[in-house]
Structure 1
Amino acid sequence: MQEFAITKARRVRKREVFGWAMFDFANQAYTLLIITVIFGDLFTRVIVGDGPDYRLGNLLWSIALAISYLLVLVAAPVAGSIMDATRSRKRFLMASWLLTVFTTATLYWVEPGLIILGMVLIVISNFGYAIGESFIASFLPDLGPPERLGWISGLGWALGYVGGLVATAFALGLLGDVSAENFERIRWVGPFAAAFFLLSALPTFLFLRERGPRRNVAGRLQLSMGFRRVAKSLVTLRQRPELRDLFVSIFFLMAGIYIVISFTFIYGSQVIQWDESTRVAMFIVTQIMAAIGALGFGWLQDRIGAVPVYRFTLLFWTLAVLGIFLTPWLAERLTGILGRPVEAQQVFLFVGALAGLCLGSAQSAGRALVAMMVPVGEAGRWFGFWGLSGRAAAIFGLMGIGLLQMWLGLANAILFCLLLFFAAFVATWRVRLPDRSGTPRSLVP
């Protein structure tokens, strides 16, 4: 029988928490430099370069990310089940880390017109990064008692935003702006992100422990066993509506968040038409606010309850997206009220700060909820399903926004996110933490 995740005997292991959180610190260099701030913009405007509206570039970017998430969707639950059975979470995590580092470094050779090469490298590198998120999350239930997991999860996410801030600040300072004229410098973003991820994640592999002795199982048997356990897990989800609905809510939440992460700076460039100083300010403000949100809501989650805090962040997201959509209108209204010009990019910066506040908090709260609801010895497979929910959401969200912006334009298609966040809130209706007395010790036979 497996030890259930809500056992109170576990204590916070500070050195392990630090090592675990440093992986969040390290991998944000990939998220921000490659997906959000620099390479995504570089791919659409320079590598593809179908101006003035860049609709083809936006669609191809969505397709590349969606393919990578489709691969994670298939692989994450099976890999998680194998990790549990063989006690090899750390090896799987290291493999995903090295794959991401190598393929990110090779983005240096993607030049204007080499669209297929760029898409292939994004598919592989983002697969390694995304499945690695599931692997590192599976260690969370080991790091402390359930009443501290909200804060620990929030600490990891907050440290991640600090890492992203440091990495991107150095990258923007060293490499300059995203433009065809500056291509020879900005193409170094891949090697820079790879080096940052490589070095900053070293504490993770020094301090994070693998629980239990390693079990040697033949490769073919591992795969067969992984699929069998995934099938049993699907049966369990039908029997536990609160856990199933949490994964459904995470699906809608992550669909919206992946759109925001992948298109915020593209939206600012194409719709708001911001200048370089506002772009830099947006990055700094959202990173700081996201770190504050992750830490603050993580602390609050341990005191008033994980479910209420998670629901609040979802409602806050709907307001933030509505503010993004209404940015030009708000700028006009404020100009009339104040009697002086108010630019849309100024309003967009303020709205971005609100979105940043709930960016880390919503993801951290969802991750902590999963850790509180699953057995420690089965964390790999259930965080595989957490990864499946998130990556299926990425495919749905990115393909949805990609097709909608082809039809309606990016400015109107952003309302799709509002519907996604509201659906995530509705899906939490039956989500409850398990009773700490009498809960079965194992979810899957």
Structure 2
Amino acid sequence: MPEEKQTTDQSPITKKEILGWCMYDVADSAFTTVIVTALFAPYYSKIVVQDPNRADFLWGLAASISEIIVAVLAPILGAIADFSGSRKKFLGVCAMTIIFFTAALWFVGPGAVTLGLTLYIIANIGFAGGGVFIDSFLPGISNEKNVGKISGMKWAFGYTSGLVCMVLISLVFGLADNIVVNPTSEQLSKARLIPVVVAVYYAIAVIPTFLFLRERSVPQPLPAGESYLTVGFKQLLKTLKNIKRYRELVKLLIAFLVYNDGVVTVIYFAALYATTTIGFTGEDIAIMFILLNVVAAIGAFSFGWIADRIGQKTTIYISLVIWIIAVVIAYFSYTKATFYVAAVFVALGMGATQSVTRSLLALFTPKANAAEFFGFLGIAGKALAFLGPLVFGTISNVTGSQRPAILSIGAFFVVGIILLSFVNEKAGKEAARIPVAVE
């Protein structure tokens, strides 16, 4: 059985390296906060499509398409990255994709429905793919005693960054309030600058990642007559053949597959729900997401610290209950003040669920197979990720109301809790000590 040191760099981990890993989320969160959730989604609805129910359906469709593509590609690309020692290169391609295609959203004006959808799908593929590769570095820069803290730190950095980017766009540059129905030419010009600001912010924030984060996967020599593509496929098949070794990881992925769909759906439609159902203005949205990111940053770091002490699984349970409370409050919200309360619960749940799930997966993952295994997380995160947005969009379109749509999302969290109860945390950690040998 090959030792892990043959396929991973075991040199000492530095604080600078951990900082570099965290900084990728500083960049990423500008995209997910502003483009996916807070500002470009309402821009696409109010200015580009000019039909909120149709916009819900199209936004959900775009999310579904990009998530399915990443779900198909992530494991094989992860296996190739592990074997070729090129996780960082793959990460760089994803980052460049986000920067270029986010900036290109500047060209999306009123009526450019297809162009906006296409550019957003490609940018979102880069975002989702980058998430797989950056997460695959976590097992190599952490241990059982600090993985929750480090993962929580990354997410806290990200939520803080989302806040900073929103403040820049909304308060410093004054662009958020220009997202209105039938904008003037001046308002349209300002609103179109939003994705450009995000692209520039992303490009600057991601620099420390590529300066400080080490490539810890060591390239393996190619067998005669093989290419990295064929070896990647063979490695993936070998992992699937030996998947019984990692039963607890599989159980975790199945649970994550379900409850993450609820998380993704709330993130995609939070701003649209707030504007269409509650009556939030662009300024209200900006305030809400400032609040959301402050609370989520605190939640991510705090729950990461808690997870290292009471266990990741128990902490995830707590976070899913918080999500259920959030969607119930959102359903019964008829005032802005009440919806702000729902946003606080969303922020707490979001900060805890995402960071702690990844720290638990890191403990269940052999270091030598990290990108490949986090590719499976990509599958779990994307395989059903089309369902939640599709359910929300369909219910909203059929009923003409987003209230039953948001309430339906609570079912994903309830089922997630049930599935998570079957995961044996201790057995999962023990199984991770044996890597899948690369032949």
Q: Same fold (TM over 0.5)?
A: yes
Q: Secondary structure at the match of 2:425?
A: coil
Shift of 1:232: 2.8
Q: Which amino acid aligns with 2:25?
A: D
Q: State the partner residue of 2:208.
A: 203
Q: State the partner residue of 1:110.
A: 108
The one of 277, 280, 290 aligned to 1:274: 280
Shift of 1:64: 1.1
The one of 236, 248, 264 aligned to 2:270: 264
Q: Which amino acid aligns with 1:24?
A: D
- State the alpha-carbon separation in 2 of the partners of residues 2 and 306 from structure 1: 27
- State the alpha-carbon separation in 1 of the partners of residues 362 and 382 from structure 2: 18
Shift of 1:277: 4.2
Question: Is the contact made by 1:256 and 1:421 (CA closer than 8 Å) also made in structure 2?
Answer: yes
Question: Is the contact made by 2:176 and 2:282 (CA closer than 8 Å) also made in structure 1?
Answer: no
Say if 2:329 is the partner of 1:323.
yes
Shift of 1:393: 3.1
Q: State the partner residue of 2:314.
A: 308
- 277-286 vs 423-432, which moves further: 277-286
The one of 161, 170, 174 aligned to 2:168: 170
Shift of 1:260: 1.0
Matches within 5 A, 1:188-227: 188-215=193-220, 217=222, 221-227=227-233
Q: State the partner residue of 1:442.
A: 435
Deviations 1:332-379 (A, max 9, x none): xxxxxxxxxxxx111100121111111111000100011000100100
- State the alpha-carbon separation in 2 of the partners of residues 283 and 212 from structure 1: 37
Q: Secondary structure at the match of 2:42?
A: helix
Q: Which amino acid aligns with 1:265?
A: A
The one of 397, 407, 413 aligned to 2:398: 407
- State the alpha-carbon separation in 1 of the partners of residues 3 and 397 from structure 2: 49
Deviations 1:91-145 (A, max 9, x none): 0000110011001101000111111111110110000011000000000011121
Q: Secondary structure at the match of 2:280?
A: coil
Pair 1:67–1:270, CA change in 2 (3 A):
same
Matches within 5 A, 1:78-157: 78-157=76-155
- State the alpha-carbon separation in 2 of the partners of residues 308 and 11 from structure 1: 31
Matches within 5 A, 1:355-366: 355-366=346-357
Q: State the partner residue of 1:288.
A: 294
Q: State the partner residue of 2:365.
A: 374
Deviations 1:191-245 (A, max 9, x none): 1111111110000000000125434659972222222222333333445332111
Q: State the partner residue of 2:192.
A: 187
| Matched positions, count | 424
Q: Which amino acid aligns with 1:351?
A: A
Deviations 1:314-333 (A, max 9, x none): 111111111111223xxxxx
Q: Which amino acid aligns with 2:53?
A: R
Q: Secondary structure at the match of 1:82?
A: helix
Shift of 1:10: 8.6
Pair 1:198–1:244, CA change in 2 (3 A):
same
- 71-80 vs 241-250, which moves further: 241-250
Q: Which amino acid aligns with 1:228?
A: K
- In the TM superposition, structure 1's runs of 4+ consecutive aligned residues that sit over 6 Å from their partners are none
Percent same amino acid at aligned positions? 32
- State the alpha-carbon separation in 2 of the partners of residues 315 and 236 from structure 1: 34
Say if 2:228 is the partner of 1:230.
no
Q: What RMSD over aligned residues (CA atoms) do the two structures have, in Å?
A: 2.1
- 189-198 vs 233-242, which moves further: 233-242
Q: Structure 2: 5+ residue runs without aligned partners?
A: none
Q: Secondary structure at the match of 1:242?
A: helix
Pair 1:117–1:216, CA change in 2 (3 A):
farther
Question: Is the contact made by 1:101 and 1:198 (CA closer than 8 Å) also made in structure 2?
Answer: yes
Shift of 1:264: 0.5
- 272-281 vs 191-200, which moves further: 272-281
Shift of 1:389: 1.1
- State the alpha-carbon separation in 2 of the partners of residues 383 and 355 from structure 1: 25
Matches within 5 A, 1:246-265: 246-265=252-271
Question: Is the contact made by 2:217 and 2:368 (CA closer than 8 Å) also made in structure 1?
Answer: no
Q: Secondary structure at the match of 1:35?
A: helix
Q: State the partner residue of 1:424.
A: 416
Pair 1:306–1:12, CA change in 2 (3 A):
farther
- 223-232 vs 140-149, which moves further: 223-232
- 191-200 vs 215-224, which moves further: 215-224
